Amino acid sequence: MQKETDDLLKRFEEEYETYVSATDKLTYWIIYARIPKTGEKGTHHLHNGKKYVTGPNEEGNVLILPDPDNSELYEVESWGNMPTIDDFVKKALPRILFEKQESESGNKESCGASCS
């Protein structure tokens, strides 16, 4: 992963209080986002985990695990050509921000019924 992409992840975390890690392996890539759970009071804020998995030979197909710690549910989407993990991160960050905004607006719970 390029330093520019690593810096992009750090800025995203600071700006949106959404912690994002990227794993770059030879045959797969994982982006794990911890999106703040809305409506929480107190000093500590809870975060919902969401995992995105793809790889260099997956032709843009992304496996999305909306609640990887508590559920075996998953979705598969096509995000287009992503030859490097840097491309994957650049496509994932707007998606993560969209999920965060949906959760904040109350239109969609970011990790489903298993969070309750």
Q: What is the pLDDT of residues 40-58, one digit of tens each?
A: 555 455 667 899 999 999 9
> Model-level pTM?
0.81
Residue where the block lists tokens 């809870």? 46
Average the pLDDT over 70-82 and give the result. Answer: 92
Q: Are 22 and 1 in contact (CB under 8 A)?
A: yes
pLDDT of residue 29: 97
Least confident of 11-15, 29-33, 43-47: 43-47
Give how far the C-alpha of residue 34 lies from the chain's centroid of Cα atoms, to the nearest Å: 7
- The residue written with tokens 């804020």 in the block is 45
Higher-confidence residue of 105 and 90: namely 90
Q: Please state, in angstroms and rounded to a whole number, the distance separating the CA atoms of residues 5 and 59.
A: 21
| Confidence tier at 6 by pLDDT (50, 70, 90) | very high
For residues 96 and 111, the answer to whether their CB atoms sit within 8 Å is no
- Which residue stretches of the chain are H helix? 3-16, 85-105
